Amino acid sequence: MSEEITVDEIDEAIIAELRTDGRATNQQIATKLKLTAATVSTRIKRMEDANALRVVAVSDFSAHGYGLLIQVAVEVDGRPAADVAADLAELNEVFAVHLVTGRYDIDMLVALRNYDELSDFMLDRMADIGGIRSMLPAIAVDILKYKFDVAPIEAKEAS
């Protein structure tokens, strides 16, 4: 189980370096920040253990042949929304599923290779999941911003 930690200026500098180059070695980061590699390693491990940091590879949709990004709002009936969301999350094309408030119960993001896959996905694959009352798909016509590191990690102010 992770414990809450305080992220200080040194941690923020390490995170900034990893955002610039996620493959940088502890020694490279240490050299840039005038720290020891052991300090960098210890701090990264501490943040990872507390779920305050995760270093991952992010790839571009189009580089892997996905030309269609769809946001789908899903209204649920007859089943718990969390169960329907869990079933939707199992579909390979779905890369994000959120339980939400408002008119719809679930919001999800789907990546397809082309329009030819749209009918099969919406009418066959999603139709096999029980509890979906209605769907409102919206096709992205242009991606103006795709920022994968949207959760800024900031030090909490002392209360």
Judged on CB neighbours under 10 Å (0-12, 13-18, 19+), 154 is: exposed
Q: By the 8 A CB rule, do 104 and 136 touch?
A: yes
Q: By the 8 A CB rule, do 48 and 11 touch?
A: no
Query: Mean of the per-residue pLDDT values for the chain?
Result: 87
pTM recorded for the entire structure: 0.65
Least confident residue range of 38-47, 92-101, 144-153: 144-153
Please say if the pLDDT value at position 83 is more than 80: yes
Say which CATH topology domain 9-49 has: Arc Repressor Mutant, subunit A (1.10.10)
Please say if the pLDDT value at position 121 is more than 50: yes
Kindly report, as residue ranges, where domains of CATH 1.10.10.10 are found in the chain.
9-49
Instruction: pLDDT band for 36, please (50, 70, 90 cuts).
Output: very high
Instruction: State what percent of residues in the chain have pLDDT above 90.
Output: 64
pLDDT for 92-104, tens place per residue? 999 899 999 999 9
Q: By the 8 A CB rule, do 18 and 29 touch?
A: yes
Kindly report, as residue ranges, where domains of CATH 3.30.70.920 are found in the chain.
62-139
| Other beta carbons within 10 Å of 109 | 15
Nearest-angstrom CA–CA distance, 111 and 67: 8
Least confident residue range of 53-62, 76-85, 117-126: 53-62
Of 13-17, 84-88, 108-112, where does the model show the most confidence? 84-88
Domain 62-139 top-level CATH class: alpha beta
| DSSP, residue by residue, 97-137 | EEE--SS-SEEEEEEESSTHHHHIIIIIIGGGSTTEEEEEE
Residue 38's DSSP bridge partners are none
Residue 148 has a pLDDT of 62
Nearest-angstrom CA–CA distance, 75 and 96: 16
